[in-house]
A and B are shown apart, each in its own frame.
Chain A
Amino acid sequence: MTTTDATAVPVRPRRQNPRGDQVFHAAATAAGVAVLLLIVAIAAFLIARAAPAYHRAGWRFLTEREWFPDDPSRAFGILALAFGTIVSAVLALILAVPVALGSALFLTELAPPALGRWVGHLVDLLAAVPSVVYGLWGVYYLVPRLIPVSRFLDRTLGFIPLFDSRNNTYGRSLFAAAVVLAIMVLPIVAAIAREVFRQVPTADREAALALGATRWEAIRLAVLPYSRGGVVGAVMLGLGRALGETIAIALVLAASFKVDIHVLEPGGNTIAANIATKFGESGAHGREALIASGLVLFAITLVVNVVARGVVYRSAIAAEGRP
């Protein structure tokens, strides 16, 4: 089987075209360096702007829940925001990824190719809906209809704190936000995954089928192992969207600054939504604190991506190690 790592090109071109290659190589490298500089510039700008806030808050920035950066008598910190960001994004992925991968597999592996393409484009349409529309739809359509679902979850699974609502109120909760996020993440993961599955060499798939595997076995044995890296990449892009989504969450969540695993209860907040809701009325200190919170979001994305890269790397090794 061909490995997915295309960076180690085993055969060099026989006849070099030094000038063309040099120019192209230089252009590509320059683009890489440009991006590097851009991100360094953004990071430097953000760090410079955020530094006073870190200085003011000290270590409490990491442990404090409330957010009153413009009020010298009160504190501000990232704890509740980071918690809500991670919980809502993880819940969204739990809801979205199985559906996204399942639909991608069906459309590439089982459905007739023409149908698969057109239904795929339909799913892509979900990405065409702007986040402000998801927010408005979420608040006025989805949230009221999720209340019975939440109540059902509370009644049947309420013994687990995650599904418990202590005062039996539901509505604009982290759960509702996660559902909206899941819908927004779904087309991204599904679209990339479809393309990834489509790139699986037909020969691999056919070999499995020829050996008597069922369709599902062919998927498990030929398609999924080949596309693992790409699928993780797709999920990471979805996660990036979920972590950074701003307006829709700002509209849906009944913002509160609690660290509370009872996700069916109204409340919760995320870093990005908090930036959007607090930015308009922030003073100079408030803006610095919001930028400082944006940097924490960077850090979260960074950690998640490093872990994901590690997973892909190790699974690639494991796959190669097998005969």
Chain B
Amino acid sequence: MNNNLISRRGRPPVTAVVAAVLLALVAGACGSDNNSGSAAGSGSTTEPKATVDCASGSISGAGSTFVQTIAQQWIKDYATACPGATVNYQGVGSGAGIQQFIAGTVDFAGSDVTMKPDEEAAASAKTGAVLHIPWSAGGIAVEYNLSTVKDLKLSPETLAGIFAGKITKWDDAAIKADNSGASLPSTGIQVVHRSDGSGTTAAFTAYLTAAGPGTWTAGSGKDVPWPTGQGAKGSDGVSGAVKQTDGAIGYSEVSFAKGAGLGIARIKNEAGQFVGPDGAAVAAALAGAEVPSDLKVKINYKPTDASAYPISTTTFVIVPRKPADAAKAKLLKSFVLYALTAGQTTAESLYYAPLPSSLREQAKTAAQSIGA
């Protein structure tokens, strides 16, 4: 024990000093916001500037993680075309995005599902009438890990049976029937699903409910009582778990299945064709959706088009009909219109799908009315 500590003076607040020094060091290192010098990205399609009706200022939005990747691309391309504008989008989840939109902390929300009546009432009370504008679309890939099967084909009933826990082996007769000639192993099927609430889950389970009646009984929603399988957080978590587990099957946005290098099953549509989730197939499926005048698209999970991929969904941007701030209204309108026009061409390179043209025209009309 020290005996001569009495002479000691109080020492300086160590952490504060350290942090201040570090801050000075880093701040002095001259960080840069300029990332345009070395655009090595392959997904960036340079748009002719003429098509963009630029606005300036700053808006921020939050919500759907589904749309985050393409939103990031739009933000980059829009900022290149319109240097005076800053758009900030954070993928915090559709539910949280809607809550923040209601609270007024963001200018727009991204959501995979439409607002519930009470949410819409709360938002209208805050910002006036709100618009749901579909602005992107994508297929939900059924991804699997089977070294012996390169091209898995599944009918809706079989898929529902697997996720309902009624089909438990890969060499089940139902899977064999869908894949004549394939060498299916006798390993057990490990189902992987989302553990977090998710718009992807909502679309996937809505499809199972529509396509596998009697087999899939757990209902549909952002989160359901899964009859079987393991949960994983986020699409990256699901894809990672499928990749780690031999005999696993899961669902995610196409980009995650591709990113993890997983096999993607082809799903049988109403016309009896086995189709994969590429952009054209998704657009074909969504062309069969019912579009009411408020644009709250009702997906038809049994599209009749022979080229349609049935597990397809749209995602919405939710904006005030008349934003209080005129400058923000202008930027919001400009950005959403950009996403609906030039922005659609980047969709396929990022494994999204362009909106079918009729839906896109309706969405554009709605976007034109922002602030008008």
Contact = CB atoms under 8 A, between A and B. Distances in A.
Contact of B230 (A66, A70, A71, A267): A267
28 contacts: A68-B223, A70-B221, A139-B240, A144-B244, A169-B190, A171-B245, A172-B230, A250-B195, A250-B196, A250-B233, A251-B233, A254-B231, A267-B230, A276-B196, A277-B233, A278-B196, A280-B65, A280-B92, A280-B93, A280-B95, A280-B196, A281-B94, A281-B96, A281-B197, A282-B197, A283-B99, A283-B116, A286-B95
B331 to A, nearest CB: 26
A150 interface: no
A74 B195 CA distance: 17
Interface of B: 1, 65, 92-96, 98-99, 116, 118-119, 190, 195-199, 221-223, 225, 230-233, 237, 240-241, 244-245
Nearest to B62: A280
Interface of A is mostly: loop
Contacts of B195: 250, 253-255, 269, 277
Contact of A201 (B1, B198, B221): B1
A284 interface: yes
Interface residues of A, number: 35
Given A68-B223, A71-B221, A281-B197, A255 B95 contact: no
Given A68-B225, A202-B1, A256-B230, A280 B118 contact: no
Contacts of A216: none
A282 B237 CA distance: 19
A279 interface: yes
A287 to B, nearest CB: 7
Contacts of A256: 230-231
Contacts of A70: 221-222
A246 B196 CA distance: 13
A17 B95 CA distance: 59
Interface in A130-147: 139-140, 143-144
A266 B191 CA distance: 12
Contacts of A71: 221
B169 to A, nearest CB: 13
A281 B99 contact: no
Nearest to B1: A201
A215 B276 CA distance: 70
B335 to A, nearest CB: 23
